[in-house]
Amino acid sequence: MHKKPYSKQRYIAASYACTTKDISAILTKCLKLIEKQHRIIGRQYDKNYGINPMWILHNSKSVHQSFADFNLKKNAKDIRTYDFTTLYTSIPHKQLRKELRWVIKKAFKSSKHSFISVYKHNASWTNSPGKDTEHLDCNKVIRLMNWLLDNIYVTFGDQVFRQVIGIPMGTDCAPFLANLFLYSYEYRWINEQKELNNWHVLKHFRSCSRYIDDLLMINNADLMKKYMTDIYPKELVLVPDDTNGKSCPFLDLQVNITDSIISTSIYDKRDAFHFPIVNFPTLTGNIPKKSSYGVFIGEVVRYARACSYFEDFKLRTLSLVSKLRKQGFIPRLLKRSWLKFCDSHLLLVQKYGPRVLFLYEDWM
């Protein structure tokens, strides 16, 4: 509803009862382990050559660490985000098979193990899998992936379609397939530039982060605009933001550069929606009160991590409290939750000074 034009839609193929779900779940555990191995490869590459080819993020925590490093040196010059207009539904299967085969083989070789043992909640490398433990060698992981790609069927109404381009949003392993597909191009492009001794180019790609289809570039001097068609396949269209290079949203953060210092605050695209958003518990219903007040603490923890300055944090917190009070939350209990939050997250809020302890006075 927030997209313009309003006819633009994103289709999700639910797979909770799909016959291929078990295979997708096994692949998810394997690919998660393989991605972790490539993080190890990336750290070693960075140690050897001064640049990390692993750009994949899981959340904004590592982004904050990157910002802190820049602020320590006070050398942030520009920042820009890029977005793939379509990703999941545009990946050619032939190229996906090829790139994932390379990713999987490289991870197995780097791990120095012959098998992946798959357990209920995770997977691990091994050379001697248990007799009763599900385990896969490199070729079997590749075969499972190829079989899954060849057997993607989506029902729409009373019709069944076979998906021959892209992967459906909704299958368990889709994020890992998409992430590692892009990673293979990023790694090889960086390695090619290293082999060509193009360090004048690579120095602008030392601070790259990607959360699936969202890219963040710091001190890139807009070189990604020049090289993005060299890095990624032509089927994927990468679009830069339209900002001045000093301010941009990324994940749940609004990022700004002022006097070579990076600051952040909360970014929520729902703030611009022209219709009301229904979220957070409403205590007029029959729901547990304790866990509902825990939602309040969880939100202010997120605000404190995201907001560099007290005024941004205060504005968000008071807006949250106002909404929760309209949904039946009691000011006295919100105050108790607030003091509990301050006590258990002292290191997180100390940047705001002692005034943060008395913020509850503004809503009592």
pLDDT digits over 231-242, tens only? 999 888 899 998
Q: Are 331 and 293 in contact (CB under 8 A)?
A: no
pTM for the full model? 0.89
Which has the closest alpha carbon to 206: 33, 193, 37?
Answer: 193
Judged against a pLDDT cut of 80, whether residue 337 lies above it is answered with: yes
Q: Are 193 and 112 in contact (CB under 8 A)?
A: no
Number of other CB atoms surrounding residue 271 within 10 Å? 9
Which has the closest alpha carbon to 84: 226, 235, 246?
Answer: 235
Write the pLDDT tens digit of every residue in 99-142. Answer: 999 999 999 999 999 999 999 999 999 999 988 999 999 999 99
CA distance 320 to 331: 12
CA distance 221 to 209: 15
SS3 content of the chain, % helix, strand, coil (to 5): 50, 15, 35
Q: Are 158 and 10 in contact (CB under 8 A)?
A: no
Q: Enter the tokens of residue 310.
A: 């007290």
Say how many Å lie between the first and final Cα of the chain, rounded.
36
Where does the pLDDT of residue 342 fall: very low under 50, low under 70, confident under 90, or very high at 90 and above? Answer: very high
Angle between helix 331-344 and helix 289-306 axes, rounded to 10 deg: 50
Judged against a pLDDT cut of 70, whether residue 2 lies above it is answered with: no
Range list of H helices, the chain: 21-49, 61-73, 93-111, 138-150, 174-195, 199-202, 223-231, 289-306, 310-326, 331-344, 346-349
DSSP 3-state of 345: coil
